[in-house]
A and B are shown apart, each in its own frame.
Chain A
């Protein structure tokens, strides 16, 4: 058991970065999941709107109240830099300035220059709010034209504009994604990056040490047969890989507020297959005997690169067809395809799902074969 024990002794020195990845990932997953409520019916997007009321009249307050019934009103100082940052990062969706003289202009039928909006992006929020404001003014002025006083007109405009259209919500979540909400799918979506990072920074580093020329030669000339040493390394690696996967799955139970059920089991299987892929990548890279700091850089290229072009950090639906065509040659693409299907973003089809997972397995097999080929060629070179 010496080699087996050595594996974990070396691992003890390498676990810090792996632990940080897991802790940060789990902390974020828990924070997100605890704020989630599943949608049963259509709900309009509610915007974060900042209003600066320069008019400060009953009419301008009525408008603020109307907006507040549909959206979240944020109170913010008129600091241009702060507003720019908020609009840039979309922590505020719309900044409205009700100009002085709004009330008089509304009564006299004027429509131009009633409001100002601060803009950074040409966003949907701007188009939506502009339409909404135009409609509010038109409706209020129509009520004034029908003979109502300004107060009555504003009350009626608010009432009539808050009347909701009948909306049918065609969601497949209930039927297609039993036991696996879109939010829970997010937990599995980010997992490949974590698995690659953890495996490369810990398993890869340990295997590099254990398989380094100096250690291997010492082991080879000991009374322990090379085959037994390999079996012990394999056993220790397997225990580590399964342990990492089990920790993530156990956290999944907590995040899901209950044990896995329905489609969530497919996601569990999908994650197990990707854990094997991540381990295979780590084992493959460890055969090249790279410097520790080079491995750190390479981990980020592989982990982040795959995450960005396969749809882990940016949804696949956002990515162009050219990117997705290239991503097909990477395992994370198929993992995300399967995860998206389970989350109901694609119609559920068992045979398609099996194909996705088999493709992932094929990547793992190819990586293991490549590792054997590289090892064999290296040992031939060393012997020569």
Chain B
């Protein structure tokens, strides 16, 4: 009986092509937009690049020229320098061609900037360091001239006091999080398919529901077959979605692709069961339930960082528990765990959480769907 119902549920589901087509177009369209928007953005904005700087010598300063030549010759130069006059430098600053203008006289450096970011702070730190070196030498000349050579020797050393410990070897480009959130949203939009389970089984919401309620098939079997058929349909959508992102758009989803597929399929099941649950609670109309489902999905995705990338971190700092129960956060975190960490511990926790969500949402859905009787159809 169950398999018979399942077969026809799948067949019927495939005939409602409109929704499935859109669920496929959705990640492809948005994924394409994300790809063109974020391509190269991490490398150009979030990783260190030399700071474009204009240098204006109002007086000659041989020491500084030597320092600047040294910077330019280094492998990873702190600044990308343009030597020019004051007027041109200010124009460059105004037109955002440089981040700051360093004015040099024989004794000290001054700085002109047009913003307050990290670029400007690095330039100020450079000027501070140069000026403080000059101050130290001047102080030593005043207090103990014999120590000047030793002080100059100390100050002109190239040293490296910091050893670098890289915490992760995986993908640290956090713009990829937008794609994780996109997969989460596609998965959760499975709730629109899940919602149709209740609509197709509730006599007050559809003609099909009225017919099903008259049939001798036990409701539990009919609803379970509907639920499993939607899981299958949504899983196919999720597999196509991940395949498109990984192989067409070439998004780095890490090395454990099979696990990515597993998490994506589970995310689709979370979506379907969420829709099933929302649909089965209350006596609202089809349109009201669809509006509520969409709003819940979008709110969940917003909190997970779909619109503002670091929203999950902001929420995590204030209410850490929320990220553990917000479906979109849990889903996107499962991909994050796979691509960032070497160990599977965190991923396993997320997968178990998703499985628990599928069970809880499905269970609540069944509780509210059962024993719903109609006095008249």
Contacts and interface: CB of A to CB of B under 8 A. Distances in A.
Interface of A: 13-14, 16-17, 20-21, 24, 39, 42-45, 80-81, 83-85, 87-91, 111-135, 137-139, 141-143, 145-147, 160-161, 163-171, 193, 197, 201, 205, 290-294, 296-298, 300-301, 304-305, 307-309, 313-314, 318-320, 322-323, 326, 347
A301 B29 contact: yes
B167 interface: yes
Contact of A296 (B165, B290, B306): B290
B18 A290 contact: yes
Contacts of A39: 116
Contacts of B346: 81
B66 interface: no
Contact of B114 (A115, A119, A126, A170): A170
B192 A111 contact: no
B144 A300 contact: no
The 9 A-B residue pairs with the shortest CB-CB distance in the complex, in nearest-first order:
A89-B313, A142-B154, A165-B127, A124-B118, A305-B33, A293-B192, A145-B150, A45-B121, A111-B159
Contacts of B133: 139
Given A124-B118, A163-B131, A291 B162 contact: no
Contact of A323 (B25, B36, B78, B94): B36
Nearest to A90: B310
Contacts of A146: 136, 140, 143-144, 147, 150-151
Size class of the B contact interface (CB-based, 8 Å): 35 or more
A147 B164 contact: no
A128 B121 contact: yes
A43 B117 CA distance: 9
Contact of B78 (A85, A112, A127): A127
Given A88-B172, A127-B48, 13 more contacts: A89-B316, A91-B317, A115-B162, A117-B165, A128-B122, A139-B132, A145-B151, A146-B147, A146-B151, A160-B132, A170-B114, A294-B19, A297-B26
Contact of B48 (A85, A122, A163, A294): A122
B348 interface: no
A193 to B, nearest CB: 7
B307 A297 contact: no
B19 A318 contact: no
A379 to B, nearest CB: 22
B1 interface: no
Contacts of A170: 90, 93-94, 112-114
Contacts of A291: 18-19
B38, B143, B159 interface centre (most CB from chain A within 10 Å): B159
A326 B33 CA distance: 10
B340 to A, nearest CB: 7
A320 B78 contact: no
Contact of A89 (B143, B290, B310): B310
